[in-house]
Amino acid sequence: MTRWNVLLPPTIDPVGPESLADVADCTSRADYADEDELLADIDRYDAVITRTRPVTAELIAAADRLKVIAKHGTGVDNVDVEAATEHGVLVANTPGENTNSVAEHAVALLLAAKRNVVRADRATREADWRRADFRGHDLSGRTLGLFGAGNAGRRVATLLSGFGVSCVAFDPYVDPADLPENVSLVDEPLELFERADDASVHAPLTDETYHAIGEAEIGALPEDAVLVNTARGGVVDEDALVSALREGTIAGAGVDVYETEPPEPDDPLLECESAVFTQHNAGVSHDALENMSRAAAENVRTVHEGGVPETTLNPEVRE
């Protein structure tokens, strides 16, 4: 069987590339000085494994031998799937491989914001003992709104069931039979926020979900609510979130993703003391990175062997 050339992301857990050693030669995207140099050489690659770097229509059109783009992760907003389909290139992702990582991080942000963990930590380090200012709120008995009830959203619900939290979810694509017992569906996004005490975002960024959570949705939450986003920055209107945090419309936020990454140092969102911030690392625990590397490589192997990965987003390419 013909050996393939595989383009790797600049950083990737070695378990995946090592598993392809018998069928492919792998080259890191970091070996190229810039995108122009990569564009000039892309026609020698049979497969691309990508994390966050864009795989553009221009790159795909120049890749004459390309057969599969294997996304290391779930979201494919950095891959031009339409262009890939037009050029007969399969696109497959690795949903579920970082589900637990994302869900645990979302719960961590929720707890940190609700219990003022970061603010209390800062004050304590500065010998500013203001115990009464950092009391926070319990999770037990509250209702969490899940905007998106895919793998990560459902896992959050399962984790929080141990806290005595019930969940309402908006997701027009989910099968109700797949939901945990503590989750009920609503028909409209606004209803979700009207019924929730806190909310967590687990929807991909698409034309449909861009700024789906704005002033009306955030304003429907109670004043002691926390909004968590570990999905994609553009799903939440950051201007509306900043206004709500400044005005005290909600109590806090846990933010892992941003409309511009990394955010500018003077981004107004970063000035909001009641928010807890991380660096788009919800889904990249050491365990998750190993899982996604292995799964992305397995998708490459499947195509190399003439198959179509189960997680292919455009199977019509082979129909």
Q: Taking the C-alpha atoms of 247, 238, 152 and 105 in order, what is their torsion angle to the nearest 10 degrees? A: -70
137 a catalytic residue: no
Q: Taking the C-alpha atoms of 287, 293, 294 and 296 in order, what is their torsion angle to the nearest 10 degrees? A: 140
Pairwise CA distance, residues 89 & 33, whole Å: 25
CA 221 to chain centre: 23
319 a catalytic residue: no
- How far is the CA of 296 from the CAs of 9, 80, 290, 304, 307, in angstroms? 11, 17, 10, 13, 14
Phi, psi of 213, deg, nearest 5 = -105, 105
Catalytic choice (35, 195, 280, 290) = 280
Catalytic choice (181, 247, 261, 271) = 261
232 a catalytic residue: yes
- How far is the CA of 274 from the CAs of 111, 122, 137, in angstroms? 13, 12, 13
Pairwise CA distance, residues 208 & 166, whole Å: 27
Pairwise CA distance, residues 274 & 279, whole Å: 17
Rg (CA), the chain: 21
Catalytic choice (232, 294, 301, 304) = 232
Q: Which residues are catalytic?
A: 232, 261, 280
